[in-house]
Amino acid sequence: MNLLEVNNLSKIYGTGETAVNALKKVNFSIPKGEFVAVVGESGSGKSTLLNMIGALDTPTLGKVLIDGNDIFNMKDDKLTIFRRRNIGFIFQSYNLIPELNVEQNIKFPILLDYKKPDQSYVEEILTVLSLKDRRNHLPRQLSGGQQQRVAIGRALITRPMLILADEPTGNLDSQNSSEVISLLKTAAKRYQQTIIMITHNRSLASAADRVLQVSDGVLSDLGGYAQ
């Protein structure tokens, strides 16, 4: 069964002569547990696509189904809860809370949902991400690679079905970038999570199970390797 179904997804910004077709009738599906990279030039529409899938923006036309749920048919309050519980986000800029330490940042989405964190799972995440000895450190006391690992842990903590990573290695050097990609692949296999990663780095994209390319709002499937 496919975890994600994208049907005729289109996005138009503006009207008339100034209208921009950011996405043009995009169609694809992703089965559970697949790690997919999305590549494309700046302004190609790949970030718009990720924002639609994550319900951070609404399409002009088309549907996004996650685990059979038509997310844009949901009422706003239901969609907010669904997104918080089922979609994990990893951003290029980390977006950690500076006043919270590593463990608190990882737990934050659970607390936001008024739930009690599963401490054994927290310990597992800290171990998998090699952060146990940094659990009490604040973000400013961490390297860029360590901060991005915390962001990955925060995305994993709710056990989401889908993880969306927007240029997660954009601020990292080549060694840390490779480590982040390896951690994402580990998460996909270990926790059976579906991961969609935007990247401009085709070398990193080639580590994914499948590569999609967005060019001028049109999506094409490059298969199991970047071309």
Residue 40 tokens read as 């494309």
Q: What is the pLDDT of residue 189?
A: 84
Q: What is the pLDDT of residue 225?
A: 53
Q: What is the pLDDT of residue 203?
A: 86
Q: Parallel, antiparallel, or unpaired: how do β-strands 35-39 and 210-215 relate? A: parallel
Domain boundaries, the chain: 32-58+85-223
Q: Which one, of 14, 164, 5, 160, lies nearest residue 72 by Cα?
A: 5
Q: What is the pLDDT of residue 188?
A: 80
Q: What is the pLDDT of residue 227?
A: 43
Q: What is the pLDDT of residue 143?
A: 92
What is the topology classification, in CATH, of domain 32-58+85-223?
Rossmann fold (3.40.50)
The phi, psi pair for 175, rounded to 5°, reads -65, -50
Low-confidence ranges of the chain (pLDDT < 50): 226-227
The answer to whether the CB of 221 falls within 8 A of the CB of 27 is no
The answer to whether the CB of 30 falls within 8 A of the CB of 60 is no
DSSP SS3 for 174? helix
